[in-house]
Amino acid sequence: MGGGSGSFLKVLVNNMDVLAGPLVSLAYPLYASVRAIETKSAVDDQQWLTYWVLYSFITLFELTFAPVLECRPDDVISAAQRYIEQNGSKAFENLVNKFKSSNPRRSILEEVEVERRARIQLESEAREVNPFFNPEYQY
């Protein structure tokens, strides 16, 4: 009988992540709700009623849309690999090219360089207009 209780504890410890979810989302709120009902304050009753309504909506949503949520591809790479196997690599290249923008985005370094050049241009134009221009002066 001693060996069985050790394996039961191992099962509990190994499945703690599965057991902790219901414990945190059901057991404590149930306890706190009973305590709130026993008090005379309506504020905590409303708070826990809101919790239970939201919890039921989330559970209903999860149960309703579980098949849709579970059928999504595990990751983009495996979905792309399946698409290439089914349609060929040329079809995948066409698909990727279709979604590329006509104006390619610049990298952050390119953006910084463009801003730096614009600032230099403005400072040089300001010096031409006003020889006493001090670029470090905060206006």
24-33 pLDDT, tens digit per residue, is 888 888 888 8
pLDDT at 44 over 80: yes
- The answer to whether residue 9 sits within a structural domain is yes
92-127 in b/e form (b: 16+ CB < 10 A) is beeeeeeeeeeeeeeeeeeeeeeeeeeeeeeeeeee
For residues 104 and 52, the model is more confident at 52
Mean pLDDT of the chain: 79
- For residue 62, give every residue at least 6 positions away whose Cβ sits within 8 Å of its Cβ, in sequence order, or none: 69
| Matching residue, tokens 């069985």 | 4
Number of domains in the chain: 1
Q: How far is the C-alpha of 84 from the C-alpha of 62, rounded, in Å?
A: 32
pTM, entire model: 0.41
pLDDT at position 121 = 86
pLDDT at position 137 = 64
- The answer to whether residue 133 sits within a structural domain is no
pLDDT at position 69 = 74
For residues 73 and 36, the model is more confident at 36
- The answer to whether residue 123 sits within a structural domain is no
**DSSP track, 52-68:** HHHHHHHHHHHHHHHHH
pLDDT at 13 over 80: yes
Neighbours of 54 (CB within 10 A): 10
The range of the structural domain enclosing residue 58 comes to: 2-72
Q: How far is the C-alpha of 57 from the C-alpha of 63, rounded, in Å?
A: 10
